[in-house]
Amino acid sequence: MLKVLIIGSGGREHALAWKLGQDKRIGKIYVAPGNAGTEQLEKAENVNLTTVAELVKFAKDKEVGMTLVGSEALLVEGIVDAFRAERLNIFGPNKNAARLEGSKKFAKEFMQKYGVRTAAFASFDDAEKALEYLKTCPYPTVIKASGLAAGKGVVICQNQTDAEKTVQAMMKEKIFGEAGAEIVIEEFLTGFEVSVLTFCDGKTILPMKTAKDHKTIGEYNTGPNTGGMGSICPHPTMTDEQYQDFLDNISAPTLRGIQAENLQFTGVIFFGLMVSERGVYLLEYNARFGDPETQSVLALLETPLLTPIYACLDGKLDTVKLEWKDEVAVCLVAASAGYPGKFQKGIPIYKIEQASFFSQVFIAGAQRQDDEIHTSGGRVLNVVATGKDLAAARKTAYHAIDLIEFEGKTFRRDIGEV
Ligand code: AMP
Ligand code: GLY
């Protein structure tokens, strides 16, 4: 029976392990390093490994047949190349292709070259030139560290003074280290955001159902951005026409570019879209599953996850048709008090079992301590419920999250309110 390795420790990885655990072909699921949720899944075992070298050795020793990578850092570092060099199956883009997420400058230039609709931009590796540019650009303007900055590298600047401070902080004070050595300054777009996760084998892009993330900590888009405080699938307001616009002006030219550049992209392309009055724009590519989008998207996917994954590795994605439940899924995130700023860890969590009667509970940041589960991260857990419509799914999800108890439990009441 197949042994699978999932790399990561969040709610996304718990959801991936949960979905793969339903597949009869899979006998064992290792999660590195995993969390208190993955540890409790029937076929799963947490393994405390983090470096590429350790993971390659482990996969060889245990004869792991398929590896999935949750977060972007290892992809950008080249984990896929390292696994392939040892003839190990791994689902994700190689180092060169992962630049679509790892370098915003590379991604924007790619979009421009292949006609993927995106915000107008300029990129800089010289702070003085960037400061000069800020004198003439329209405001608000968006400044992005080009490299990976754990989701914190995007700043919307209302005026020239804010923008100058941001350039100083990124390029001179290096608050994001080398990730901010190059920056992208781009046009500010308005509209609503849509996440589209897709499978890609380098020849075909196969979209999953659309989803909506909720990025700010506060209700009704207030307060600082987080990793995501909830998601719903499918996206409740994107029209068929807007979806077609995405296929024609974002997905199709992306695929042309991938082929023309010979990127051999195998894995998930997650398109972060802005639907504006002028059409659908691409804000960014991610080269991996989204968190918390994955939790609600997988709740509706009927096809075993291994089917598109194998098809990607075999270059046969064009033969796959994904089957979906005709329902709506809602994922609520319960976070620690203080997140995304400073927060306490080690707080006991109660009544997960009660909530599990009504919903799927995924652990995002919690570890087992003897018989208890204690918080260990900013985003602590996810409650995922499905229903015949959005109202039904929300009702169940909120009922379930209300049952769970931990000191400082913080969540948004407006997830999926349209
Ligand atoms: P990114 O990491 O590029 O997706 O940016 C993070 C978040 O910043 C996005 O989800 C948007 O909410 C916001 N953002 C990024 N680029 C723009 C833009 N050009 N105009 C308006 N908001 C943006
Ligand atoms: N939910 C956004 C992300 O995974 O980057």
Taking residues 129-149, what's their average pLDDT? Answer: 94
Q: Looking at the structure, do residues 183 and 153 belong to the same domain, yes or no?
A: yes
Q: Which residues, 6 or more positions from 211, have their beta carbon under 8 angstroms from its beta carbon?
A: 194, 195, 196, 197, 231, 232, 233, 234, 235, 290, 293, 296, 297
What is the number of the ligand 1 atom nearest to the C-alpha of 189?
20
pLDDT at 225 over 90: no
pLDDT digits (tens, 9 = 90+) for 248-275: 999 999 999 999 999 999 999 999 999 9
Residue 255 has φ and ψ, to the nearest 5°, of -65, -40
Q: How confident is the model at residue 223 (pLDDT cuts 50, 70, 90)?
A: very high
| Pick from 155, 216, 145: nearest CA to 411 | 216
Considering 293, 319, 345, which residue would you say is the last residue of a domain? 319
Residues 281 and 206 reside in one and the same domain: yes
**Measured distance CA(26)–CA(3) in Å, rounded:** 6
Residue at 205 is within a domain:
yes
Q: Do 332 and 383 form a contact (C-beta atoms < 8 A)?
A: yes
pLDDT tens column, 349-390: 999 999 999 999 999 999 999 889 999 999 999 999 999 999
* Residue 113 domain flag: no
Q: Tell me, yes or no, whether 303 and 332 share the same domain.
A: no
Q: What is the pLDDT of residue 113?
A: 98
Query: pLDDT tens, 293-346?
Result: 999 999 999 999 999 999 999 999 999 999 999 999 999 999 999 999 999 999
Give the Å distance between the CA of 154 and the centre of ligand 1: 7
Residues 264, 258: Cα–Cα separation, whole Å = 7
Pairing assessment for the beta strands 205-213 and 279-286 based on DSSP bridges: unpaired
Within this chain, do residues 209 and 298 fall inside the same structural domain, yes or no? yes
* Nearest listed ligand to the Cα of residue 10: 2
State the residue range of the domain holding 341: 328-403
Q: Is the pLDDT of residue 348 over 80?
A: yes
CATH code of the domain in which 88 resides: 3.40.50.20
User: What is the tally of structural domains in the chain?
Assistant: 4
Q: Is 265 inside a domain boundary?
A: yes
| Shared domain check, 145 and 69 | no
Nearest-atom index, ligand 2, CA of 215: 1
CA–centroid distance, residue 403 to ligand 2 (Å): 26
Of all residues in the chain, the percent with pLDDT exceeding 90 is 96
CATH number of residue 137's parent domain: 3.30.1490.20
Ligand closest to Cα of 186 equals 1
Residue with the nearest Cα to atom 5 of ligand 2? 290
- 275 and 391 part of one domain: no
Same domain, 126 and 64: no
Q: What is the mean pLDDT of the chain?
A: 96
* Predicted local distance difference test score (pLDDT) of residue 41: 95
Closest residue by CA, ligand 2 atom 3: 290
Q: Is 138 inside a domain boundary?
A: yes
pLDDT recorded at residue 408: 97
Which of 198, 179, 362, 378 is CA-nearest to residue 288?
A: 198
Nearest ligand to the C-alpha of residue 273? Answer: 1
CB-based pocket (< 6 A), ligand 1: 119, 142, 144, 154, 186-189, 193, 215, 272, 283-284
With 90 as the cut, is the pLDDT of residue 51 above it?
A: yes
Output the pLDDT for position 197. Answer: 98
Looking at residue 224, which CATH number applies to its domain? 3.30.470.20
Q: Which atom of ligand 1 is nearest to the CA of 188?
A: 20
Check residue 160 and give its pLDDT.
95
Ligand 2 centroid to Cα of residue 289, in Å, is 8
Question: Which ligand gives the minimal distance to the CA of 283?
Answer: 1
The answer to whether position 346 is within a domain reads yes
Return the ligand number nearest the Cα of 221. 1
Q: What integer pLDDT is reported at residue 175 of this predicted model? A: 92
Please provide the distance, in angstroms rounded to a whole number, between the alpha carbons at the two ends of the chain: 44
**Protein residue closest via CA to atom 13 of ligand 1:** 154
Candidate from 274, 275, 277, 282 with most ligand 1 atoms within 8 A of CB, to mutate: 274
pLDDT tens digits, one per residue of 276-297: 999 999 999 999 999 999 999 9
% of the chain residues with pLDDT over 70? 100
* 31-49: pLDDT as tens digits: 999 999 999 999 999 999 9
Residue 315 and residue 196 share a domain: yes
Q: Assess whether 173 and 290 both reside in one domain.
A: no
Query: Ligand 2 centre and the CA of 95: distance in Å?
Result: 20
Tokens of 266: 């195998």
Residue 134 has pLDDT above 90, yes or no: yes
Question: Which residues' Cβ are closer than 6 Å to ligand 2?
Answer: 213, 228, 286, 290-291, 293
Q: Is residue 417 part of a domain?
A: no
As a whole number of angstroms, the distance between CA 290 and CA 15 comes to: 11
> Of the candidates 262, 287, 319, which is a domain's last residue?
319
Chain segment 395-406, per-residue pLDDT in tens: 999 999 999 999
The residue nearest atom 9 of ligand 1, judged by CA position, is: 283
Give the number of the atom of ligand 2 that is nearest the alpha carbon of residue 231: 1
418 in any annotated domain: no
Mean pLDDT, to the nearest integer, of 136-142?
95
Asked which of 319, 345, 367 is the last residue of a domain, the reply is 319
What is the residue with the minimal CA distance to atom 8 of ligand 1?
Answer: 154
Pair 181, 204 in one domain: no
348 lies in a domain?
yes
Nearest residue to 189 via CA among 290, 283, 255? 283
274 with 222, same domain: the answer is yes
**306 with 251, same domain?**
yes
